[in-house]
Structure 1
Amino acid sequence: MRSRVVVLLAVLLLTLASCGGAVSVSPSPSVAASPFPATLSDFQNRSVTVPSRPERLVSIGPSITAFLFALGAGPRVIGVDDFSDEPAEAATREHVGGIKVNFEKVVALKPDLVFSVKFSDGTIEKLQAASLNVLVVDPQSVSDVAKTATLLGKAVGADGEALARSIQQRVDAVRAKTANVANRPRVYHEIDASDPAKIFTVGPGSYINDLIEIAGGANIAARAASAYPQLSAEEIVKTDPEIIVLAADAYSPKPGDVAARQGWSIIAAVKNNRILTIDPNLINRPGPRVGEAAEAYAKLVHPELFR
């Protein structure tokens, strides 16, 4: 059971570091000339120089992959991580591993530029040691999304600024819609409850916590000490969440399962039938669909605003 939790969180951190459906960003940014060589500062504050327009790209991180395709650089993507399935075309690229990167395969693809989320196992350093140019791109919050669009645009020679503006406008529209709500219901977002004594949820500094706030909710774990804290069932019951949000996938518990948990019948969300589900890929990946994600979450928290 513990191994399943470890894998689940590793996948979540890789995707955050989440998607059914195609990437849809309006307006679609047009490719524009970006001066090369370009010297960029990545998410680890490393200075990376891209000498010329890169033609062979490897993406290690689903959010990164989605951004590259949204920027029109999809045809240049030759390799992706095992979890990059959006847009559908991304899944047809060579796979270079998931939680553990297949170093040899990345090198064999001879990329001009490798985009990767952060790793603490020496992956980045190993790729650099093979004389590969690596740009670390690791969006963890809604505010990181526009920064990512701009950075990637500069790296591949596309109009990242236009994409950033488009994304921010949609997020701001949702924020404006919920800004003056009279009530901000208490929200509990469940990540994993395999161990009922240590249930994973989202805390400050996480992408989903940002979505809850933008949606006009109040995260029950907003004051936790980490981005992905573990709470006991008793702690969750004590906060009396008014809304419970679950991932709508085959591996997550169903609303009926949660309602049937011992002692949970007194929770407001259970009593009022507000145990809701949402597309996990939509809200787990801080990518170009962040505006859509914010709106989807807001519809769960404040459905009255969208009637």
Structure 2
Amino acid sequence: MRIVSICPSNTELLDALGLFDQVVGVDDYSDWPAEKVKDLPKLGPDLNINMERLQELQPDLVIASLSVPGMEKNVDRLQELNIPYLVLNPKTIDDIYGDIRTLGAACGVPERAQQLVAELQSKVERIQEKARSIKQAAPKLYWEWWPRPIFTPANANWLTPISDLAGGINLFGDKPGDSYTAEHEEVIERAPDYMFAVWCGVHADKVKTTMITEREGYTAIPAVQNGRVYVLEEGLYCRPSQRLFQGLEELVDLLDPERS
């Protein structure tokens, strides 16, 4: 097969399924695995895919994902051009398992897909055992996807169950939908125990914790007072692929009360 991925998380899933030798093109934001994507044709930003260039690659299947808001425009265009495509739309951990099976079946590797799901499920079980002591304290976790305006994950996003599996609580997990636009006053009032900057599309080395801690009124927040404001690699938390489970493992280590 000739496969094109127009979303970073899908590119990562294709690698996990051992299908990367069939990938002939990706979107500009697909940056992992770095050594494999660097020489592939780039088709533009995920929300502005060059469809003419995509057609030239003669794909048998294009993998899209509605986890990227606005991806619907690309899907409509693929349909108009009669290009075979598959759309994933994960919101929960179980959805990611389901997407792996769906992708594996579509690409002819259902056994590998089932094996990958089993491996990830086993990892989650080990992590949950490790997170027992964290769950007793149930720390409140504030995730920041974007600073101006503040975008943070709401109930129908994988970071809510990820927070729970790690023993914590997503600060805005009670809000409906995928994401929530919060006000600074709400963040202060909810008093998170940890704050995580995972700005979508921004590398961690471009973000400083002071961009959060120095905001007006934030010195009243327990996370700021206790030095628990972190900049994390957004690729481990903002993409619904197997790397999210690596992020979960690192999150548990970060929340471990025995951590020095």
TM-score by length of 1: 0.75
Over 3 Å counting, the alpha-carbon distance change for 1:296 and 1:134 in structure 2 is same
Match for residue 194 of structure 1 among 148, 152, 177: 148
Match for residue 63 of structure 2 among 89, 93, 115: 115
Task: Report whether the alignment pairs 1:67 with 2:13.
Answer: yes
Match for residue 166 of structure 1 among 119, 142, 149: 119
Unaligned runs of 5+ in 1: 1-54
Contact 1:142 1:290 in 2 (8 A): no
Counterpart in the other structure of 1:230: 181
Match for residue 38 of structure 2 among 88, 91, 109: 91
Contact 1:116 1:137 in 2 (8 A): yes
Contact 1:178 1:216 in 2 (8 A): yes
Match for residue 54 of structure 2 among 97, 100, 106: 106
Query: Post-superposition shift, 1:302?
Result: 2.5
Query: Post-superposition shift, 1:295?
Result: 0.8
Counterpart in the other structure of 2:169: 218
Query: Post-superposition shift, 1:188?
Result: 1.0
AA aligned to 1:223 is D
Secondary structure at 2:137 match in 1: coil
Query: Post-superposition shift, 1:176?
Result: 2.8
Contact 2:3 2:63 in 1 (8 A): yes
TM alignment of 1:1-307, pairs within 5 A: 55-88=1-34, 89-98=36-45, 99-118=47-66, 121-158=72-109, 159-179=112-132, 181-195=135-149, 199-247=150-198, 249-252=204-207, 254-304=208-258
How many percent identity over aligned positions?
A: 29
Contact 1:216 1:302 in 2 (8 A): no
Query: Post-superposition shift, 1:216?
Result: 0.8
Contact 1:188 1:245 in 2 (8 A): yes
Secondary structure at 2:144 match in 1: strand
Q: Relative CO higher for 1 or 2, CA cutoff 8 Å, sep ≥ 6?
A: 1
Unaligned runs of 5+ in 2: none
AA aligned to 1:169 is S
Contact 1:276 1:300 in 2 (8 A): no
User: C-alpha distance in 2, partners of 1:240/1:229?
Assistant: 17
Over 3 Å counting, the alpha-carbon distance change for 1:232 and 1:129 in structure 2 is closer
AA aligned to 1:91 is K
User: C-alpha distance in 2, partners of 1:132/1:122?
Assistant: 14
Secondary structure at 2:216 match in 1: coil
Query: Post-superposition shift, 1:272?
Result: 1.0
Query: Post-superposition shift, 1:127?
Result: 1.5
Deviations 1:31-82 (A, max 9, x none): xxxxxxxxxxxxxxxxxxxxxxxx2111111111111112111111001111
Deviations 1:188-237 (A, max 9, x none): 11122224xxx211111112222111111112211113321111111111
Contact 1:146 1:165 in 2 (8 A): no
User: C-alpha distance in 2, partners of 1:122/1:256?
Assistant: 37
Query: Post-superposition shift, 1:256?
Result: 2.6
Secondary structure at 1:79 match in 2: strand
User: C-alpha distance in 2, partners of 1:204/1:80?
Assistant: 30
| Equivalent residues, number | 248
User: CA RMSD of the aligned region, Å?
Assistant: 1.9
Secondary structure at 1:273 match in 2: coil
Deviations 1:239-282 (A, max 9, x none): 11111112362443x22332222211111111111112211111
Contact 1:170 1:292 in 2 (8 A): no
